Chain A
């Protein structure tokens, strides 16, 4: 069995599954953010008229993290957050992360860095980028709010069709200023935005084995942009290191692997050493071009952050490029660390100071402008270059604007010039 099949079989209490089988896996972790307000509404709908009170199947397996609109931008959001906060308190949800500088952050960073996600788990989240958590060898996929209400009630995901798996084998060493973001953009460009729809991307090869968990999070995070149900990296020594050293996990881990004779629907091989920095051009994530094709394009806003590229190594790369220089006049640069922990680490290492001195605006951890709901909206006709994960029309809050996606290195080098810039030019 592939890794996804193996995890689903175990969680469903059956010895074997194959693609197309329908199973009801036990859920190990059920994550929501602000949309817990809708989950809560649907949860109460399920119990309406029944003879028993609404009750979470297991509050210790429910996580709620405020990140999409923090601090609240409107009374409506604040009231939704208040309702969810009261529910979390009533149900004693310990994995509730409120708007705080110490324990808050983006859900897809808070979950791994607190050790909530473990290899072999089934993780569901009311967010499409829940695929991120496959980086730790878990099967993690996005669901809607009503499906989450069902999981809250039963502790199982109902009628899950076992997806087929595509094996992605990556070899070769990245060139300087090329990394995981360029790799996943290249893959999405190659297989298209629907190339993995209803399927799992399972990542293998020497490049993946030597990649940090932070880099693996980038790959799994954006797997959904190829339509994938999940992206997954088989757990290994690096997974164990991350969970022990960075997430403080002390329990024994079950580093579950796919079987050697697993059946894959397709195998895709990529040589990472041949990659240039990649850019996803408007308005689809699969409209990917090498940087040479778009270099020189004027940009009005640069965004560094998000669940895709707001981690310490991302900020480090950007800070090294920015330090001692100035953001081009006419270009705004916004930086959003992915969590309070990363914010403090970046502060301690001087990265945030370097950004501010260069003229960037460092914002509080959260989803920020990524999905156009909170701050950093674009004006008519403006162009953004962003390390986030989507460039759909209207994504940054204005349908009359454009979003280009790139790595932190490209974003930082471009902020200095005010045009899309190859970071290899001057560094």
Chain B
């Protein structure tokens, strides 16, 4: 999986999905505005130059700020994978709920163009040969991913409740 973009700490949801596009809400329509103010990267995304499964490597506190779910759905729409040193709480929960692949990797070191092998416990940088431990998501979040996201998880629960009644 190739690193397509590297980012610093504290990348806010205003960078990922600027507020002025928030009237656009549908997951099918948000991907066009991913990183809209980063004209170069947004241009590559729109030109389909970033293959599905490409990786954004970020620093600490990725996705801080707003609860806007567009910041997750716009990345999910391009099938990106986010490897970050840490994530802000609401962004991480939204990613789990919508099925955006997020990997918590506190020591990650990578530059654009590197190829990463992402496993359950380690990320291996194939260029440098270095390995970086992954912090697994807690079972409470993993169970939502395993169910196929929060919509599926909630549907299961609703049907159980209806049966119980």
Contacts and interface: CB of A to CB of B under 8 A. Distances in A.
Q: Specify whether A and B are partners.
A: yes
Interface string B130-161: 00000000111101100001110111011101
Given A42-B151, A143-B90, A145-B69, A35 B158 contact: no
Contacts of A150: 150-151, 153-154
Interface string B4-40: 0000001010110011101111100000000001000
B78 to A, nearest CB: 19
A37 interface: yes
B158 A153 contact: yes
Contact of B25 (A20, A41, A158): A41
B155 A128 contact: no
Interface in A50-102: 50-52, 68-69, 74, 76-77, 80
Interface stretch (A309-317, A325-333, A386-394): A386-394
Contact of B150 (A35, A51, A158, A194): A158
A359 B12 CA distance: 34
Contacts of A35: 22, 25, 68-69
Contacts of B154: 46, 149-150, 153-154, 158
B65 A128 contact: yes
A202 interface: no
A13 interface: no
A37 B64 CA distance: 23
B23 A197 contact: no
Contacts of B68: 35, 144
A50 B155 contact: yes
Contacts of B66: 127-128, 371
B151 A149 contact: yes
Interface string A386-427: 000010111101010000000000000000000000000000
B88 interface: yes
Given A144-B94, A159-B143, A193-B10, A390 B20 contact: no
A84 to B, nearest CB: 11
Contacts of A394: 14-15, 18-19, 37
Contacts of A125: 67
A393 B150 CA distance: 31
A425 B14 CA distance: 35
Interface in A180-225: 193-194, 197-198
Interface in B104-144: 138-141, 143-144
A373 B33 CA distance: 14
Nearest to A389: B65
Nearest to B158: A153
A374 B1 CA distance: 39
Contacts of A37: 25
A45 B151 CA distance: 7
Contacts of B98: 144, 146
Nearest to A196: B89
A397 B19 contact: yes
B115 to A, nearest CB: 29
Contacts, number: 153
A119 interface: no
A342 B37 CA distance: 35
B162 A52 contact: yes
A342 to B, nearest CB: 23
Contact of A193 (B22, B26, B64, B141): B64
Contact of A68 (B12, B22, B157): B22
B89 A197 contact: yes
Contact of A50 (B20, B60, B141, B159): B159
Contacts of A147: 93-94, 97, 150
Contacts of B86: 194, 197
B20 A397 contact: yes
Contact of A69 (B18, B23, B65, B141): B23
Given A46-B158, A153-B158, A77 B23 contact: yes
B54 interface: no
A193 B150 contact: no
Contacts of A364: none
B61 interface: yes
B14 A143 contact: no
B19 A80 contact: no
Contacts of A20: 138
B61 A46 contact: no
Contacts of A51: 162
A194 B19 CA distance: 21
Interface string B69-100: 11010000000000000101110011001100
Interface of A: 20, 22, 34-35, 37-38, 41-42, 45-47, 50-52, 68-69, 74, 76-77, 80, 125-128, 130, 142-147, 149-150, 153-154, 158-161, 193-194, 197-198, 227, 229, 284, 371-373, 390, 392-395, 397, 399
| Nearest 7 pairs of A and B residues by beta carbon | A144-B94, A38-B25, A392-B12, A159-B140, A371-B19, A194-B61, A399-B37
30 contacts: A35-B22, A52-B162, A68-B22, A76-B24, A77-B23, A80-B23, A144-B68, A144-B72, A144-B90, A144-B94, A146-B94, A147-B97, A150-B153, A153-B154, A154-B158, A158-B144, A158-B153, A159-B143, A161-B138, A193-B61, A197-B89, A371-B22, A372-B20, A373-B19, A373-B20, A390-B12, A392-B15, A394-B14, A394-B15, A395-B12
Given A227-B64, A373-B19, 4 more contacts: A77-B23, A128-B65, A143-B67, A145-B25
